[in-house]
Each structure stands twice: as structure tokens, then as C-alpha cells.
Amino acid sequence: MKKKTWNTSEDVLRLFQTVGRASLLYDIQDSHSGNMAIRHRDESGNDWIVITSTGSQKGDLEPNNICFLSPAETDFGYYKASSETDIHARILALEGVAASIHAHTKEIAVVTLDDADKPNQPAPFIPVDPLGYYHLSGVVPVDWMAVPSGSPEMAKVIPERLAEHPATVIQAHGTFAKGRTLKEAFFRVCIANNAGYVVRLLKRLKVDVEGLRQRVWDSPQASFSYPPPDYTIDDDDVCDFPGETEILREFQKAGARIFESRLSPFHSGSMSVRGVGSMLYAPKASMPREIGGPLREVPLEVEDGDSPEIQVHKQIYAASDFQTIMHCHVPEAEAQAHFVYPGDDGPLDRIVPIDAEGSFIHLVIPVVPAKTGIAELVRLLHDYKVVVVRGGGVWAVGAQSLSEALHHPSSLREICLYRIGAFEQGLDLRRMEPGKARNW
């Protein structure tokens, strides 16, 4: 096979650039960290490993930062390619894998640290949030490496881990993930980092994380509302209503804000707008501006084959006059839903703002168990416009626009951040909560 030049096609370059910029926005890379790789067949039918060059800025990739390497020739050590190219080549050789990412996922890196004598085998990471539990198959392996960057040991262990798991962590270094596409691999590292962040928040709130993990492990069905939809590929450019330019723009703006404001990890959550006999539906609500996601028009009536996620949208519309619905996985709200006031026996059933802006918008926000029925959810949405489901995300509604629904999870995140910060300082949250909230 003739050696390919370092120039890349426009489509491959754009894919790497958009995912690279999104990873920087989501703060799972520093300016030069990490690497991305895909298997690619060119227009002549030649197969290549395409990988970012060593030390390249993932948020500002140029054509000469994308390297094409032969999967059959021993040229992985070429000076321009990533120092971890041999690791990615072995990941890409796994059955069904066409993409891989290494990201400096700080949140999960921090919660998987230990101070044990080395060498040792760190404990695996067990997610306690629904996205992490279901999309990462319930467990993320963690390994300590004597040389945690580009070593032969990593080239052996990481592909072995990824043969059995969607993602794996190298202690004090970050996460490697596999995917059928680069966006799926990116989705998995975002989910892993979010799962680590939820656990970090729980620990800051002095929640019994190990007890929660045991309950999740014993009965995930009771701990979570339902499994989130499987990640889909090759549908991100689908739009069933391209002529509806105004509402299309609203979906794009809301999706970008969900991602950029960390209201839900990449391509998670959902949102919809009611029509006469149908609804416009975004099944991957958290959408970076350059990547987007599928936009569907579906019947309002529940149909055979509907996922639990889309069924909730349809059931809420059937029992209400709301015009828009948004479902996000706000990590701060997930952690706050498990918070136990000192002296109480169980987690709170309402989140009370202690900040001025939050109190102006929401006097209280209800928190309900994972298996709360639609009738109760709709009743609370009528009264409060936003509800936190413990183990099930945040549901919000609007009477007119997606922007109206978006305001609720956005405000909720800040409300939770204020509460977490106050608790960390040893302040008494009950004393800080407005007295009128007790009767609301």
C-alpha cells in the first residue's frame, strides 16, 4: 500500500476538529492532552488508522495534525503520530470497534486515586448514576501503571480491558474508550467523567457512597427510573422538519446550551415540542453547536417500540397542556437528590434554594423516587415546572418554548451548586432556607 501523505479529507478533518473542540469545551482535555483515532477506508479502498499527532491542540486541530498510518505496516513509531498509537491500533483491532479516545477526564481520575503502596491493583469504579451505570456496563476497570503513558504495559492491558468494557481508567492519567464511531467513543468518556463527578459531589455532601453503590448493584431496577436509550450511530444528520427554520433554531440553541452549561453529558437527555398530532423530538438533547444530533417528528400517541424515554414525553403531553418538555441529567441535582440533612434518616424530598436568584425563580423543587408514576410527575410539573427524579434525571416543562423549559434545569444547577458550597463550609442549610418554603 502506498504511503499516504499527512493531508486528510475534509470530512475526516471536520470530524476530528468538532470532537476535539467539544472535548475542550467539556473540560476533559487540556490544551494539548489526549488523542483520538479511527479506522478509515479512503476513496481508493485503502484502510488506514487515522490518529491525532503527538502534542496537537485538540481544540484547534489543523490538517497536518491528523496522521494516516497503515494498519498492516510497522510505522506506528513515526515521529508525528501520537506516542500512544500502538495502544489505539490494538483497540481498533477489537471486533466491532472503529474509534477510540484517550481523554484526561479529571473527575473520574480524581475519585479513582488511592495512596496505597505501589504496585497495586486499584478498585474498579462503580457508577451510581443511571447514565454511568447503564452506558458503562456497571463498572469501569482501573489500573495502575509504572509508566502511565505510551508504555508496553498499557498497550497490553488497555485493549484487554476494552475487549470487555466500554471504557477503562489508567490511574492518575485518564480514560480510554472504544466506539463504533468517534462520537460514540467521545460519548463514553463524557459519561465516565460525569459519573466520576457525581461521586465526587456525593462525597462532598457526605453521602454514604459505598452504601449507595451496594443498593445500585443489588437492584439497579429499583435504583433507576429505567435504562436510558442505547447510543445510536449514523443518525446525527437526520432532521424530519428542515423547513421549520424557527423551531429548528430553537432546538439547536437549546441543545448547545445544555452541552456547554454541563446540564447533561454529550448526546444525553432529550427534549420535545408538542404539535397537533405529533411532537418534534431530540433524543440526544445535549448537542454541541458543530455536531448536532437527530431531530425527529413522531406521533403523539404511544406506539409499540417506543423507548421508555420517549414514552414519558408522550405520557406527559397526554395528561397536560404543556407545549415543551426537557429531560436532562444534571450531575449536581443527581447528587443533591441523595443528600441527607444532618440528623435525618433519609434523603431530602425537596431542594430549597438559598441563593437570591434561585429563590426568585423556584421557592422549592420537588425530589421524587425513581419509580414515581406519570400522574404524580405531571401533578408536580404543573405546580413546580421542574422535578428531580432520584436516579432518573431532571424533568422540566414550558408553556410556550424550549427556552422556557431550559431555564429550569439551568437555574437548578446553580441552586445545587450554592447548596453544595454552603454545606462544604459547614453552614446549616436549614437555617439558610427561606421559612416560607417549609409550607410550599
Q: Are residues 208 and 339 in the same domain?
A: no
Q: Which amino acid is at 292?
A: G
Q: Give domain status of residue 240, yes or no.
A: no
Q: Give domain status of residue 421, yes or no.
A: yes
Q: Are residues 209 and 266 in the same domain?
A: no
Read off the CATH number of the domain in which 115 is found.
3.40.225.10
How many whole angstroms separate alpha carbon 193 and alpha carbon 242? 34
Q: Which amino acid is at 128?
A: V
> Looking at residue 73, what is its pLDDT?
66
Q: Give domain status of residue 283, yes or no.
A: yes
CA dihedral 142, 143, 148, 152 (to 10 degrees): -130
- Work out the burial of residue 319: count CB atoms within 10 Å of its CB; fewer than 13 is exposed, 13-18 middle, 19 or more buried: middle
291: pLDDT strictly greater than 80: yes
User: Are β-strands 99-103 and 174-179 bridged in parallel, bridged antiparallel, or unpaired?
Assistant: antiparallel
Of the candidates 116, 125, 124, 231, the residue with the CA atom closest to the CA atom of residue 178: 231
Q: Are residues 286 and 344 in the same domain?
A: yes
Q: Cα 9 to chain center, whole Å?
A: 29
Stretch 416-438: mean pLDDT: 94
Percent of the residues in the chain that have a pLDDT greater than 70, as a whole number:
95
Domain of 292, in residue numbers: 245-439
Average pLDDT, the chain: 94
- Work out the burial of residue 1: count CB atoms within 10 Å of its CB; fewer than 13 is exposed, 13-18 middle, 19 or more buried: exposed
Tens of pLDDT along 319-375? 999 999 999 999 999 999 999 999 999 999 999 999 999 999 999 999 999 999 999
* Three-state SS at 332: helix
Confidence of residue 81 (pLDDT cuts 50, 70, 90): low
User: How many residues are recorded in the chain?
Assistant: 440
Q: Are residues 279 and 400 in the same domain?
A: yes
Q: Give domain status of residue 264, yes or no.
A: yes
Q: Are residues 209 and 250 in the same domain?
A: no
How many CB atoms are located within 10 Å of the residue 175 CB?
30
How many whole angstroms separate alpha carbon 76 and alpha carbon 95? 20
Q: Give 406's contacts (C-beta < 8 A, 6+ positions apart).
A: 254, 257, 258, 326, 396
* Three-state SS at 40: strand
How many whole angstroms separate alpha carbon 129 and alpha carbon 132? 5
> Looking at residue 1, what is its pLDDT?
41
| Sole residue written with cell 417528528 | 297
Tens of pLDDT along 146-204? 988 878 999 999 999 999 999 999 999 999 999 999 999 999 999 999 999 999 999 99
Q: Are residues 279 and 199 in the same domain?
A: no
DSSP annotation of 438 = G
How many whole angstroms separate alpha carbon 174 and alpha carbon 153? 16
Q: Give domain status of residue 230, yes or no.
A: no
How many whole angstroms separate alpha carbon 247 and alpha carbon 112? 43
Q: Give domain status of residue 407, yes or no.
A: yes
How many whole angstroms separate alpha carbon 25 and alpha carbon 127? 23
Q: Give domain status of residue 235, yes or no.
A: no
> Looking at residue 438, what is its pLDDT?
75
Q: Are residues 177 and 276 in the same domain?
A: no
Q: Are residues 182 and 303 in the same domain?
A: no
Of the candidates 225, 399, 260, 237, the residue with the CA atom closest to the CA atom of residue 321: 399
Q: Are residues 65 and 206 in the same domain?
A: yes
Q: Are residues 180 and 294 in the same domain?
A: no
Q: Give domain status of residue 225, yes or no.
A: no
Strand partners, 143: 170
Q: Are residues 257 and 174 in the same domain?
A: no
Q: Into how many domains does the chain fold?
A: 2
Q: Are residues 259 and 176 in the same domain?
A: no
